[in-house]
Amino acid sequence: MNKETVKYTIAEVQQDKLIDLGLDIKDAFIISYLKDMKTWKNLLEKTVNGDVYMWVDYSKLLSYLPALKITTNDVLSRRLKKYQNLGLIKRHLHKNLVYGSYNFIFLEEKFNTLFEFNKIEDTEDEIEEMKKKMGLLGQQTPHPSQKSCGFDSKVASTPSQKSSDNTPIKILPQKDSSSTESNPAAASDETFFQNLKDLLIKNNFKNYNSQTLKNIKNYSKGSLEEVKKVIEFMKLKNKAINSKTLVAILKDGDHKIVEPIDLKKVPKADKVAHMLKITTQDEIDDLCKQIAKSFGYEEYNNLSKSDENIVNTELENIFCRRYNKLQRGN
């Protein structure tokens, strides 16, 4: 094969990578679609073990790419499973007892290597070298590549006169490599701020600056665990995910206020949804098997639809009892 006559990319994916992985043109367009999803303004995401997964609407994908001639979700699911086996993605099946199951994926680092931009993007060392040449070390620059679903997306931010929490932007002083070695407190602060940035990036916070990070450190008393609690509180209360709200909640301690709950007024579906969120999939599977066994079914995975509904109904009842017990304990 004369490589000079070969088209370099198919649907933005490097053709030689496709061949090496045993993938075809259909895979190229599906993979390109998954990459483009990260640019969507509205994207349904779920955090699983610290990784941010995104929901893939199979029907939307297939209707967008009718030329693939893929007409069933099962065929598409087999292709995604193939990508998982190749180490390109991780998959997560979100189960809802009322509405069914939903497919989420996380794009692994290997996924990035399929695209042409991976060859032209500067390395971190090259960026650091250019910063030295330009005299930009220690100054505020757009924050580094955000990693959501494992896929890199550079977010450029232009510093303004006022930050997101209405405090003036203050540039951290430039530090040389010896400053942290001679000052353990500085090294500790540097580690905290780096971990804090990683936490904010993972949870899709944007438009924060050095003063915002200092405020978060002060009001949390240097506790990342406290920051995590506030972020979970913000999500639970559907608060806007921005640094201004985070700082305000840390300052006022709103997340520490225990609100009395009238268990009779909490809908059953809300109780079940809460318990699903805090219960591992392995524990749910074990519960289903135990329930099936108590009803005289030998194998849960081979139940008929009607029998499965019976097991799910009992699982909901167990979750409701657990929810009530948990709230009373609080």
- pLDDT for res 186: 54
Q: Is 76 within 8 Å of 70 (Cβ atoms)?
A: yes
- pLDDT for res 101: 84
pLDDT along the chain (330 residues), means of 10: 71 91 95 91 87 92 93 93 95 83 92 72 68 68 47 39 39 41 60 87 82 89 90 80 87 73 78 85 86 82 81 89 78
- pLDDT for res 132: 74
> Under CATH, to which class is 3-112 assigned?
mainly alpha
pTM of the shown model: 0.41
Tell me how far apart the alpha carbons of residues 38 and 148 are, in angstroms, rounded to a whole number: 8
Long-range contacts of 237-246 (CB under 8 A, 24+ apart): 241/203, 241/204, 241/205, 242/164, 242/205, 242/206, 242/207, 243/163, 243/164, 243/165, 243/200, 243/205, 243/207, 243/208, 243/212, 243/216, 244/164, 244/165, 244/166, 246/205, 246/216
Q: Is 284 within 8 Å of 276 (Cβ atoms)?
A: yes
What are 91's strand-pairing partners? Answer: 105
If one counts every other C-beta atom within 10 angstroms of the C-beta of residue 37, the result is: 19
Q: Where are the domains of the chain?
A: 3-112, 159-256, 263-329
Cα dihedral sign, 41-244-195-92: negative
If one counts every other C-beta atom within 10 angstroms of the C-beta of residue 278, the result is: 10
Residue 196 burial (C-beta neighbours within 10 Å; 0-12, 13-18, 19+): buried
- pLDDT for res 152: 46
Tell me how far apart the alpha carbons of residues 298 and 263 are, in angstroms, rounded to a whole number: 35
- pLDDT for res 19: 93
